[in-house]
Structure 1
């Protein structure tokens, strides 16, 4: 797993009463990589179910990524923290009669019933699942997702710095094939510099220190606001990074009831619309709801992996519609910012600049999508957010404990 969806899964599995361990690839659960985090109302609603909404709201503004994960990890029950192991890079997955054995590159190994692959865009879990599926049936070589399932059309450099404007402000600078996004939190600001690639690629793009500097140099004189330029914040940066922005949705999310993927391991969006992490949380909620019901229906008997695989396919099917919609939305926002076509230029430059158009979009497009968001269905909690649009999956102060689907 990785820190982001792994922590969410740890909370959900703990409250579901399902035994688990988290194998974190990083040496530290929380690392400051210079990025920010946007949490949707649906995600905050799930964190409310976990009892940590107040701690996140105290951070305020746009939540700093490592502060959010620090709050999430610090508030994990101690028994859940005891199941968290860092520095565990996945080496291989071996299926067994009772589940799987996961081997790490430090020589350690762990056995369990199922692997939840939450290990990011370059998921080793996804690669191992592909290997096992093809070993089982060589004809899958051409039908299974490729080793590198995502395409990259844009690159991005990001950095954080002392907040130079008011908390909660955000600005965008649009141009042909390039764009800027700027946001602020309580203490820091962040800037994201986007540039279209000459040609799409499936190869991994990770920018080195010199490459980051060279990339940012193309934007230094660009305006963020009427009085602030990129060079003003770049000179004050804490840290910076750069990478390609992969896009895509995998077709295969599970194998034989023993492996299942969530978040960036299963789908990847460009970050402009802030939908990637939030969809990962929805994955975890939907999956853990399925797993809990399956465990309850098993009544302590040995696992039926064929039946479990059916539940995992249900999870993927239930997430499909929202994922396709949000991926299209994310891709469109990225391309409007970079004026990828005449129509996108007109919409970005003229149509969306009108406040009434923005209000119509929120009312008739965004709100109906958000109201469909999943929640944890086995945690009794009050509803933290209510409005004109009612949640499709309302929270309840009481829950049933039976095995019904």
Structure 2
């Protein structure tokens, strides 16, 4: 069909990082987003660990990210009666181990930085594009939209979130039993809400506060201007397809938190009364067993959901997705270097290699994240020491995080734990240079 082209469905953080990685690799693409704008208003931040900042450093985004992000420092554990339980310096230890900080971002400014660094973003990111049909052929794909337009390409990447339209089309076309028959392949063992408030003077930038009740947890992540709040409540596993509900939270939903101190100066209700935006959410989790079909492949929340762990020791949803798209682009680069017009079989091998590389880490993040929140919401009180032990399991995963094989990276930072993966010694191959 001519030049290889990727159609990325979804312009969230994962889809935009994928677009930048494709552009750095000289692979043609277009990003389509069903919302009317990128980024949309959001109710919560995005929390990223050192290995993702390393990826951003390689992609040329690190300086911009430093200018908009909040470096996290201390984590404080408190009981619902106001008792001070523990202060942890885990964030500083992560930077000591890996060389990069742990940072919190506002999703709007985060997306604006990604769009700024994506060349010709006004042409390559198309909004108000609701997918109505995907047709695969021997030599490519066509994606149709509700506005009557269509896009032709070589593959479709579903970066369209937990309720992925691309995944739904895959399920309809694949043999019975390959994908979950229900509309939701994930479960939600916890429910809660997100909201943002202007930063109170008594909460300091870079601070994290956990407040614990049996079967419940409150978390505050603090930047220079805002506090990002979220709650967890343990519930019987929920599998219904539910959507984030902005500004539909009532006092009745959170009254059991009202009198709980967040620190010596403020209670939950003080923050709740000042909220700017918020909403209800199910904290879904899970990993689907099959990540691709024909010329369609899934990334991010469409394939693995670890949102049960918006705990800062996790924030693993976007993190897993960003690692995944770097892995996928590496596999596409290798495939295109061998055959600029790959067959279905070539693409299937590339997609399978991507899943084989990323699925074990995704499943481990889901497991450790669930363990973390279970320990912090224990009826016997927060088992923070055990949760810290669980955190140690993540260090080898972080050290083994992928970077783009084809992009030289001479000035990367390193801590006491060496990075295990680096760009290939010869950097950009002649095939990649020819595509650029």
Report the TM-score, using the length of structure 1 for normalisation: 0.89
Does residue 1:124 correspond to 2:165, yes or no?
A: yes
Q: 2:11 & 2:292 partners in 1: Cα distance?
A: 18
Instruction: Establish whether residue 183 from structure 1 lines up as the match of residue 221 from structure 2.
Output: yes
The equivalent residue for 1:137 is none
Question: Aligned residue for 1:237?
Answer: 275
Give me the whole-angstrom Cα distance separating, in 2, the residues matched to 1:166 and 1:57.
Answer: 18
Going from structure 1 to structure 2, the CA distance change for 1:402 and 1:294 (only over 3 Å counts) comes to: farther
More displaced, 394-403 or 81-90? 394-403
Corresponding position of 2:405? 377
Match of 2:134 in 1: 93
SS in 2 for 1:63: strand
| Residue of structure 2 aligned with 1:48, choices 57, 82, 89 | 57
Q: Larger % of strand: which?
A: 2
Give the conservation status (yes or no) of the 8 Å contact 1:90–1:103: yes
Q: How far 1:399 moved relative to its partner?
A: 0.3
Q: Secondary structure at the match of 1:222?
A: coil
Pairing of 1:192-271 with structure 2 (within 5 A): 192-204=230-242, 206-207=244-245, 209-256=247-294, 258-269=295-306, 270=308, 271=310
| Partner residue of 1:275 out of 316, 321, 328 | 316
Gaps of 5+ in 2: 1-9, 71-103
Q: Which residue of 1 aligns with 2:87?
A: none
| Closer, same or farther: CA 398–55 of 1 in aligned 2, 3 Å | farther
- Residue 366 of structure 1 is aligned with which of 383, 394, 397? 394
Distance 2:170 2:251 in 1: 37
**Contact map agreement 1:381 1:397 (CA 8 A) in 2:** no
- With structure 2 as the length reference, what TM-score do the two structures score? 0.83
1:145 matched to 2:145: no
Partner of 1:9: 18
Provide the rounded CA distance (Å) in 1 between the counterparts of 2:246 and 2:43: 15
Q: Contact 1:35–1:64 at 8 Å: present in 2 too?
A: yes
Structure 1 counterpart of 2:108, from 56, 61, 66? 66
Question: Structure 1, residues 138-182: CA drift from partner, whole Å, max 9, x if none?
Answer: xx3234233320011211211111111210000101112211010
Q: CA deviation at 1:96?
A: 1.6
Is the 2:58–2:412 Cα contact (8 Å) retained in structure 1? no
| Residue 89 of structure 2: aligned partner | none
* Cα distance in 1 between the residues matched to 2:186 and 2:268: 30
Q: Deviation digits for residues 98-139 of structure 1, max 9, x if unmatched?
A: 111101122211110000000000000000011111xxxxxx
1:402 Cα offset (Å): 6.1
Unaligned runs of 5+ in 1: 134-139
Q: Which residue of 1 aligns with 2:48?
A: 39
Q: 1:118 to 1:242 in 2, by over 3 A?
A: same
